[in-house]
Amino acid sequence: MFELDIRSRQPIYEQLVEKMKELIIHEVWKPHEQLPSVRQLAKEVTINPNTIQKAYRELEHQGYIYSIPGKGSFVAPQSPSVSQEKATMIKQQTLKLLCEGLYLGIAKEELLSLVETAEQLVKGAKTND
């Protein structure tokens, strides 16, 4: 299910967080969909359940999933309150990257078109219901 690089300097749990976030953002995993259990996923990728749980804990902390003891972990719907904080962070980081890109000589138009691409990627997923 996931391709993990054990010998990467990037921790396994971080790789998991990134890949799962993408699946959620692009709505491959829909809101309220149940994720594999920590033990089941640990078996599949043959790593320790604690590592999975660390990834889930991080995803829950970032607001991308929610967990119910005894039941399982599920994709979180978008809650505007949490999103606003994150949105501010995202905008700050994006602005920084955009400045760097412009400095490196990327055309303004190219950066504008990135927004269009992103929109299609995200919206495209949503229309595939």
Partner DNA sequence: CTAACTGTATTAGTAATTATAGTACACATC
Partner DNA sequence: GATGTGTACTATAATTACTAATACAGTTAG
Question: Which 25-84 residues touch a second copy, going by CB under 8 A?
Answer: 25-26, 78, 80, 83
Question: Which 6-65 residues touch DNA, going by CB under 7 A?
Answer: 6, 9, 11-14, 35, 37-40, 47-51, 53-54, 56-57, 60
Closer of 72 and 101 to a second copy (Cβ): 101
Distance of closest approach, residue 76 Cβ to a second copy, in angstroms: 12
Report the residue count for the chain.
129
Strands 72-75 and 65-68, by their bridges, are: antiparallel
Question: How many CB atoms sit inside 10 A of residue 79's CB?
Answer: 10
Cα separations in angstroms, 101 against 31, 54, 111, 116, 119? 34, 33, 8, 17, 20
Does position 104 interact with a second copy (CB under 8 A)? The reply is yes
Do residues 65 and 29 lie in contact, with contact meaning Cβ atoms separated by under 8 Å? no
Give which of 69, 32, 29, 35 is closest to 52, Cα–Cα.
35
Does position 113 interact with DNA (CB under 7 A)? The reply is no
Enumerate binding residues for DNA (CB under 7 A).
6, 9, 11-14, 35, 37-40, 47-51, 53-54, 56-57, 60, 67-73
Enumerate binding residues for a second copy (CB under 8 A).
21, 24-26, 78, 80, 83, 86-87, 90-91, 93-95, 97-106, 108, 110-112, 114-115, 117-119, 121-123
